[in-house]
Structures are given as C-alpha cells and as structure tokens.
Structure 1
Amino acid sequence: MDWVIKLGGSLFPERAIKLCEAIKDLNNSNQIPIKILIICGGGIFANKIRDYDKNLQFSNTANHKSAILCMDIIGTLLADKVKGFETVKSIEKAESVIDQGSIPIFIPSDIMEYQDPLEHSWRVSSDSIALYLSDLLKAKLLIATDVDGIYTHDPSQDGAKLIKIIGAKKLLNFGETSVDEFLPELLIRYKSNCYVVNGKYPDRVISIIEGRSSKYTLIGGN
C-alpha cells in the first residue's frame, strides 16, 4: 500500500465525494495506479455521541466502540455514492479490491474489535486509527480535514499562522488542534510522519500524493 488517506467526517458528504472523485481520476490517469486506501472519520454521528456522553457519562469502551461504528457508517455511505470505491473489512480484501482496479474504503470496526490496539478514550479518534492502519500497511498517511493544517494557535483568532513542518514531540504541547490528542504520541511510537491538509481543496491532496508542492502541515515522528 502506498497511501492511507483519512477523510475527515467534517468533509462528508459533498466534499468527501468530490475528493474521492479526484482521487479516482488521479488513478485512472496513471499507467500504474497508486495503491490508496481510504478511511473515514465519524463526522456528526461521532460528535453526537460526544454530546450524549457529556450528559450521560457512558463508559470509555462504549464511547470508543460506538465512535468507530460511526466511521463504518460514513465509509459505507461514501462508497455507495462514488463509483469505483468499495468497502472492505480486512487488509487482504483491500489488496484484492485494488488488484481489481477499485479503491477500498476501510470499515474499521472488525479489526479494531479484534486487535484492540489503542486506548479507549476521546483522546483517540479516527486520526489515530488511520495511523495505526498505515503502520500495519507500511503506507504513508495523509489526513484530509476542513482546515489547512496545524496552526500556531486557534486559526479563528488573529495572527494564527500555518505551520509547514512540526515535530510530534512539540505538537504534544499544543493541546487541541485539527488532529486528535493521541496522534503525536502514536507518531513518536511508530517513528512515522503524516500530512494534514485541507480536503476542501482536492488539488492539494493530489499534489501531496504526486510529490508536488502544496499547502499542508507535515508532522514528523522520527
């Protein structure tokens, strides 16, 4: 596998569909297709569980499993709307789908239930799950979200500047950003890197995949 691309739930549905179409067009234009696996965030469904949890205090495990099921839902709906994409529940099936000329969208609940590799808390979201998957596949990770990358502080405030490259150790001190809190720790553990890019602009995602200049943040765990 060349790339794991995590589509933020905030992009669903229209922008996620548009980005998938761009990824499909990229592969159709290449003589040798790039091996790409898509995994989706839980979007508004997972956010609703967070809201309920604030009032009802579910167990960490119930929250964790339910939020992962939200990723399943978004992935299933997205695959239904974009021709040439197919949901998969295993790495073996993902490879098979790629060999058949389609692009797999990973449904993570089965593998996360069986392997259970990450802590059960709201510090872990689809970002960390995507990183875990990319490490299994020895693939590069790109996180497509609804902001341009990591900023010096809250981008809604004056003076916030986009950071081009940042070490995961430094990011640990940033608190809440556009990626989940556990991701920097996992990047350090895996000695891995990931790109954070605005998925509302598909050309930026394609540029990174093709190795061209783009607007993004690269988080380094090495």
Structure 2
Amino acid sequence: MRAQSALVVKLGGSLLPRVPGLVEELQRSERPLLLVPGGGPFADQVRTLGLDGDEGHWMAIAGMEQFGWYIASKGVPATDRLVVDGGVSVLLPYRVLREEDPLPHTWEVTSDTIAAWVAERLHLDLLLIKSVDRLTVGGKAVDLIEQPECCDEVDPCLIPFVLSHGIRAAAVNGQVDGRVAEHLRGAEVPCTAIRSLETSI
C-alpha cells in the first residue's frame, strides 16, 4: 500500500472502545484519510429486530452514521460528501448512499463493502481496521487473498467487490497499540492484503 497517498479507512465497529487512541494514530500519520465508520453496536441493534430488506438496510446505514458522529466527537471533522480534502475526516454515509443507492439491500453487504465502494468511487486504496492480525480462509490466517474466498472476518461481498474492481486493500489489527500507525508509515506489520492477480499492492 502506497505510503503518503490518500486512503479510505474502514474503522470497524468492534473497535469502538479504542476509537480515541486510533484517532490519534490516524491523525499522526499526516496522510489524507477518509474514515468510513462501521455499524458496531448500532447496527447490531437493528439485527436483533430481525429486519430485512429496505428498512433494515437504511436503519443499519443510520447506525453507521451514529458511529461516525462518535468518531467526530474525538476531534475528526465529519462530512457527508465523497471527498478527501486533506487531513483526517469521517464520512457520514446516509445521504450519499440514499442518493446513489449503489449496493444490494442485504445483510451480506455491510460497512466493509460500503467502504470498498467508497474507495472505488474515489479511486483510492482501502485499509480495513479490524480486530484480528490477519484474515482467515478455511480457518487459516493468510497474508494474501487473490481469489474470492470465504472469510469470516469480512462480509461475503467485500472480497469479490475488491477483486472485481481492482482495489488495493489491506486488513490490519486495530487492537494492537501502534500497529495502524506503523502500517500507515509503510512498515511491515502482520496484515492481510487483498488484491486481484492484475493489481499490484
């Protein structure tokens, strides 16, 4: 992943307790970053209601927006536009997704694939901040995914979307202090890269 270039960063909802420290790491990188919030406990609440289709989809997107406002409360400017103006900002996704409605309304499409769609629209690389050192395929941690494999740590549509759109992507563990900052500096850290055979990373 190219150091110093602008980047779309998916900040997983499972990392909500670590948001203050992660925001500091991201801001120290001095890279232009657009954060895409996960749904976290807000989307999980929608799941408990057993809603499918349009209603569940838009309620879950609203959950992402709530997490986005929480990230904003830690000193990150919020935006509802697909732009990277410099520095670190967080996307409030509801308006743009209502306007463009680019993805299926299913629980198989979560904030992971939404972040990949944002990266594709902006022609940027994608960093997925997760709670594991590496993604797993068939129960085995892997450094690289080049085929549309089944992976428990991301939604079922994420890997096919990334590969089919030629997005450079990587997943890094945000539970380890300093790991994200090191990755953003270009250091080699435990992670999983996702790329098609035709795409270098």
If the length of structure 2 is used for normalisation, what is the TM-score? 0.89
Q: How many residues align?
A: 193
Aligned-partner Cα distance in 2 for 1:106–1:202: 24
Cα shift readout 1:15-62 (whole Å, capped 9, x = no counterpart): 1221111111222xxxxxx11111110101111211211xxxx34111
Match of 1:150 in 2: 135
Larger radius of gyration: 1
If the length of structure 1 is used for normalisation, what is the TM-score? 0.81
Letter of the 2:28 partner, please give it. Answer: D
What is the CA distance between 1:202 and its match in structure 2? Answer: 4.4
SS in 2 for 1:105: strand
Aligned-partner Cα distance in 1 for 2:147–2:114: 17
Answer yes or no: is 1:44 the counterpart of 2:48. Answer: no
Answer yes or no: is 1:24 the counterpart of 2:15. Answer: no
**Aligned equivalent of 2:142, options 157, 163, 170:** 163
Regions of 4+ moved over 6 Å: none
Quick check: which one's helix share is greater? Answer: 1
Match of 2:80 in 1: 89
What is the CA distance between 1:91 and its match in structure 2? Answer: 2.4
SS in 2 for 1:64: helix
**Aligned equivalent of 1:206, options 167, 174, 181:** 181
Q: CA RMSD in A?
A: 1.6
Unmatched 5+ residue regions in structure 1? 28-33, 155-160
Match of 1:217 in 2: 192
Unmatched 5+ residue regions in structure 2? none
